[in-house]
């Protein structure tokens, strides 16, 4: 297993032992009511372009292998049940998971890119391969969100909308909230065209701030910073927001990357769960 290239500052320690290696946030990990895992591709049963722990059933991988990977993930992390995974569509819809609808969400996951809950022992997951995974915790209620933010979801303020949904649904308070941005593509590895640039400038008040001129008619887009700004817009303290330094495109052994590998890239999981 090749070590991650970015220095381990202690803010995002790497857990490389066991069947499912993962990265965690020290900021989130200091709260006993939460367990969370920013997993990579290592440890699964896949092969070829999906080698390792591909968890997506929508990228052309063998359904049997993907099902086995879900079993490996749940067993390796010691989850009480399989993680709840949505049908991600790069939008800004937010799903609330509660006792009355949990079974239906497992049987027929809706199209959405964020999910919130105040239930204990219910693991929530989102899948990424360059897009930004975010975990938000409110320790007062407690309540939890996991969010998938690609450029389309980011420009539609999916993260900001999710945090506001936590406030409205559970009475979460920004002064009680923590957030961690997981491994994602960094700006130098994520060039976009003028169409994306225009969408950010029109769609977000800080859109121009997260773009730098790249090669030809391309722009380097900092998705991590764009989502950090959404967290601050929701009135969380900057001291309670952490961003992982690891780039999914650069770390070939650890992470899938659609930018690096194309459409047949797998997807790895971010899992979070409230615990008693």
Q: Do residues 232 and 209 lie in contact, with contact meaning Cβ atoms separated by under 8 Å?
A: no
Q: Do residues 23 and 1 lie in contact, with contact meaning Cβ atoms separated by under 8 Å?
A: no
Q: What pLDDT is stored for residue 16 in this prediction?
A: 87
Domains in the chain: ranges and CATH: 14-274 (3.60.140.10)
Question: Residue 168, exposed/middle/buried by CB under 10 A (0-12, 13-18, 19+)?
Answer: exposed
Look up residue 46 and give its two tokens: 């896949």
pLDDT at 3 over 90: no
- Averaged pLDDT for residues 42-64: 95
What sign does the CA torsion over 159, 164, 170, 174 have? positive
Q: What pLDDT is stored for residue 25 in this prediction?
A: 98
Q: What pLDDT is stored for residue 36 in this prediction?
A: 98
| pLDDT tens-digit readout, 117-175 | 999 999 999 999 999 999 999 999 999 999 999 999 999 999 999 999 999 999 999 99
Peptide bond between residue 162 and the one before it cis (omega within 30 degrees of 0): no
> pTM (2 decimals)?
0.96
Q: Give CA–CA dist 96/73, Å, rounded.
A: 23
- Averaged pLDDT for residues 219-247: 97
Q: How many residues does the chain have?
A: 276
């Amino acid at each position: 297993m090749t070590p991650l290239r970015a220095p381990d500052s202690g803010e995002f320690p790497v857990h490389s032992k066991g069947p499912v290696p993962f990265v965690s946030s020290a900021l989130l990990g200091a709260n006993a009511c939460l367990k969370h895992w920013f997993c990579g591709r290592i440890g699964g049963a896949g092969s070829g372009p999906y080698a390792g722990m591909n968890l997506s059933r929508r990228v052309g991988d063998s359904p049997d292998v993907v099902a086995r990977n879900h079993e490996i993930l749940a067993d390796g992390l010691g989850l009480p049940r399989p993680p709840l995974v949505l049908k991600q569509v790069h939008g800004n819809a937010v799903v609330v998971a509660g006792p009355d609808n949990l079974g239906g969400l497992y049987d027929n996951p809706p199209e959405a890119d964020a999910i919130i809950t105040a239930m204990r022992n219910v693991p929530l997951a989102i899948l990424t391969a360059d897009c930004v995974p975010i975990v938000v915790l409110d320790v007062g209620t407690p309540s939890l969100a996991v969010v998938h933010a690609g450029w389309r979801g980011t420009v539609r303020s999916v993260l900001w909308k999710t945090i506001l949904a936590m406030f409205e649904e559970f009475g979460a308070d920004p002064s009680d909230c923590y957030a961690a941005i997981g491994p994602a593509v960094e700006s130098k590895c994520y060039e976009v065209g003028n169409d994306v640039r225009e969408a950010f400038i029109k769609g977000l008040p800080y859109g121009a701030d997260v773009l730098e001129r790249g090669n030809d008619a391309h722009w380097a887009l900092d998705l991590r910073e764009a989502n950090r700004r959404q967290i601050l817009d929701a009135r969380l303290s900057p001291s309670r927001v952490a961003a992982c330094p690891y780039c999914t495109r650069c770390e070939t052994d650890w992470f899938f990357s659609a930018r690096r590998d194309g459409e047949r890239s797998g997807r790895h999981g971010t899992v979070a769960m409230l615990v008693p």
